Amino acid sequence: MKSKTFLTIVLSLISGVSVLAYMVIEFPGWDRLQDISTDIFVARCSETPDPDNVTHYGHRVDFQGLYYANVEIVSVLKSGTNWIATRVCPPKPGLAWIQTAYCPQQGEYYLIFANPETDYYTQRQATNYWDATESFRFVPLGAHFSTNSIAGHPLNVQMQTLFKASAFHLEKQIQREQAQKQRIESGIQPQSTQMPQPKQNERASTN
Amino acid sequence: MKTKLTTLLSVLLVFCAAAYVVVPFPGWDRLAMESEYIALVRCGNPTVLPPNAYRAGPNSDSDIQIIFTLKGTNDLDVCRLITDHDLYPGERYLVFGNLGKNILHAFEEYRITQVDHLFTTNLIAGKPLNEQIQIILERRLFDLNREAKLNEEELQRLNEALKNEHK
């Protein structure tokens, strides 16, 4: 009897974990990432995701640690627009939602390697809803980005331009954060060791 | 000659009107002493200016909500923050500012320190000002170290992509 209860608890736990789990792949390299991402686009984050993870339906709280980001697509680089049989909604400029582990910032532009999200009930692609779970699928481009810089070029050239822009933005950010780190270190007294620290597994707040 | 002088004077006048004084970082103790208002704030949306109005000066001008006052008056709720630091809606910041007509002025970048989402004000409640600032700075340092690692990884990935281009 006891083993039956134990087995039931274990099975319940396993099914619970399975429901909450999601698959994350290792960074496969940019070429492979381009291949496996059905949609690649540049989008501007229209609202920093709620840290409590309220979805765009406004009622569900997610326990997986994923964000539901509101973005505005400004330029589509790659998409299967003619797959009418399987796809109902290729990305086009305008509002969209993205499920991701990366926390985008309002007003910043991102190059996003995404896949369409399937509606749980209809098993078809949900309207304007994409999945870019892994953080490396978001490449930050900064707050000042013009689509003119990539207009009319082949995909590879567009990618290189965007990677350069991102590297430039990131280097500037690293410099800024380094200066801030030095400033903060100068203000921290060595004897104050009792200060509470956030745990290692707390979700990263990126900026 | 008169026209040149008038032009020069006009340009100087415009520069003076648009200019604001930026002081180098004086150290945390002095900054805490000189700032008349120190608070933990939550950033709202950027302030909407009236039509045809032009914002000269600092980078960011946003509505803010005061979450916790470390130093200064307690009766403020919502006001504006003007600063050179980039502000993102929804984020929390520790601000060393000066208050004027419901506008918190914190021009210099070092006056703003970002605080993570999981920070709770209970951690600093009832403690002396110096200790409160220390707690917030230590959390930020922890975050910066973590972000530095992530940024390095990202930069490495990007450099890899850029190297492939040159091959």
Write the pLDDT tens digit of every residue in A101-154: 888 888 889 999 998 876 655 555 566 788 888 889 999 998 888 888 888 888
Angle at which helix B129-166 crosses helix A155-187, to 10 degrees, equals 150
Alpha helices in chain A (DSSP H): 2-20, 30-36, 155-187
Interface of B with A in 129-158 (CB under 8 A): 131, 133-135, 137-148, 150-152, 154-155, 157-158
Cα–Cα distances (Å) from B41 to A45, B68, B104, B131, in that order, read 22, 7, 11, 18
Contact in structure between A117 and A137 (CB atoms under 8 Å): no
Instruction: Report the C-alpha gap between A170 and A42 in whole angstroms.
Output: 17
Q: Is pLDDT at B13 greater than 80 in this prediction?
A: no
CA B147 to chain centre: 19
**B155:A170 CB<8 A:** yes
CA distance A89 to chain B (A): 30
Q: Which two tokens stand for residue A5?
A: 């209860």
Contacts of B90 in chain A (CB under 8 A): 47-48, 50-51, 106
Instruction: Report the C-alpha gap between B85 and B77 in whole angstroms.
Output: 21
Q: Give domain A21-183's CATH number out of 2.40.50, 2.60.40, 1.20.120, 3.40.640.
A: 2.40.50
Q: Is pLDDT at B164 greater than 90 in this prediction?
A: no
Question: What dotted CATH number matches B21-166?
Answer: 2.40.50
Q: What is the overall mean pLDDT for chain A?
A: 78
Instruction: Report the C-alpha gap between A153 and A70 in whole angstroms.
Output: 27
Instruction: Report the C-alpha gap between A183 and A166 in whole angstroms.
Output: 26
Percent of chain A surpassing pLDDT 90: 18
For chain B, the C-alpha Rg in angstroms (whole number) is 20
pLDDT of residue B39: 92
What is the mean pLDDT of the segment spanning A52-76? 69
Write out pLDDT tens, residues B14-30.
Answer: 666 666 677 888 989 99
ipTM: 0.78
pLDDT of residue A84: 52
Percent of chain A surpassing pLDDT 70: 70
